[in-house]
Amino acid sequence: MSDTFDGETAIVTGASRGIGSGIATKLAEQGASVVVNYRSSERQAESVVDEIEDRGGEAVAVQADVSDRDDVAAMVEATVDRFGSLDVMVNNAGMTTLGPAADIDVEDWRRVIEVDLTGVFIGCQAAGRQMQSQADGGAIVNVSSMMGEMGFHMRAPYCAAKAGVINLTRTLAVEWAEDDISVNALAPGFIQTDITDQTQDSAGYTDDDIRRRTPMARYGTVEEMANCVSFLARGDTYVTGEVLRADGGWTSDAWRYREDRA
């Protein structure tokens, strides 16, 4: 195990599966005590905790709806009661809805915004207040998306929310720099997870479509995203207010669709 986060405590929201579980596991491997947040999948969250503990780490599963201010405040309080501090906050929990913008129900729009943008703000605010009270700095990493910087067919609420996360990140980085709290964002591209598998058909793309369009010609992995968050959460980089794109080169390239990658 690495000692990068030795003696520190991290909360990872939406950590019961996918990218969140990978981040939680990585931070624990590097010495952090980790709160594995979940909303409804307790069994999966406990499985992540078991995996961390089997590897010699320390973790606990805590239920909270990230869009509920009281839930998040209680989670931060429980974290400090259990581990003594909150040093790293990773706002990863998110959701999406797919459909033509003209047909999206306003309640579906609101739910995506509540979780993917308001939930990130609530998490940042609760963590920021705790870190300020500790007067020892800290790190916040918000998981946005490359879709927060471009338009994507059938994903209007998600793109809007993730764009908001990017500028929220920059704003909080400026406000909290004097408290030695870094605030950065990760903007993943297409990452291979079970969620990707569930939405792929309804979104109308195939594995080959992603491979042809991405300069690196593949999906990203959960492990790679966890490595990115680990870097952004470190306190020795002089990095704040940044958006780290981890998209295999997607946003750096003009439109491509290479038939020779079929």
**What ranges do the domains of the chain cover?**
9-244
**Sequence-separated (6 or more) residues with CB below 8 Å from residue 198:** none
pLDDT over threshold 70, residue 259: no
HEC profile for 224-242? Answer: HHHHHHHHHHCCCCCCCCC
> Which residue would you say has higher pLDDT here, 256 or 165?
165
Residues 138-142 have a mean pLDDT of 98
Q: Across residues 69-89, what is the average pLDDT?
A: 98
| 39, 43, 49, 55 alpha-carbon torsion, rounded to 10° | -150
- Taking 60 as the threshold, does the pLDDT of residue 262 lie above it? no
In angstroms, the CA 124 to CA 71 distance is 14
Instruction: Please return the burial class of 43, using the count of CB atoms within 10 Å of its CB with bins 0-12, 13-18 and 19+.
Output: exposed
pLDDT tens sequence across 222-254: 999 999 999 999 999 999 999 999 999 999 997
pLDDT in tens, 181-224: 999 999 999 999 877 766 666 667 789 989 999 999 999 999 99
To 10 degrees, the CA torsion angle through 34, 29, 144, 37? -20
What six digits make up the tokens of 190? 């297409």
Among positive and negative, which fits the CA dihedral 65, 241, 184, 207? Answer: positive
For residue 158, pLDDT over 90 is answered with yes
**Bridge partners, 191 (sequence order):** 220
Q: What is the pLDDT of residue 67?
A: 98
Model-level pTM?
Answer: 0.95
Residue 219 designated active-site: no
Question: What's the confidence (pLDDT) of residue 257?
Answer: 60
Question: In CATH terms, is domain 9-244 a member of 3.40.50.2000?
Answer: no
Q: Among all chains, which residue has been given the structure tokens 């879709």?
A: 147
Give the pLDDT score at 193: 87
As a whole-number percent, the residues of the chain with pLDDT over 90 amount to: 87
pLDDT band at 1 (very low <50, low <70, confident <90, very high): low
Considering the chain, what is the average pLDDT of its residues? 94
245: phi then psi, degrees, rounded to nearest 5: -85, 125
- Contact indicator for 128, 181 with CB cutoff of 8 Å: yes
Read off the pLDDT band of 19 (50, 70, 90): very high
pLDDT at 261 over 60: no
d(CA 258, CA 166): 30
Residue 32 pLDDT class (50, 70, 90 cuts)? very high
Q: Coil, strand or helix: which one is 104? A: coil
Q: Cα 257 from chain centroid?
A: 28
Residues 69-81, mean pLDDT to the nearest whole number: 98
pLDDT of residue 246: 98
Residue/partner pairs of 194-197 with CB below 8 Å, 24 or more apart: 194/17, 194/18, 195/17, 195/18
38, 158, 205, 257: which one is catalytic? 158
- Evaluate the CA torsion angle 237, 181, 12, 60 in order and state its sign: positive
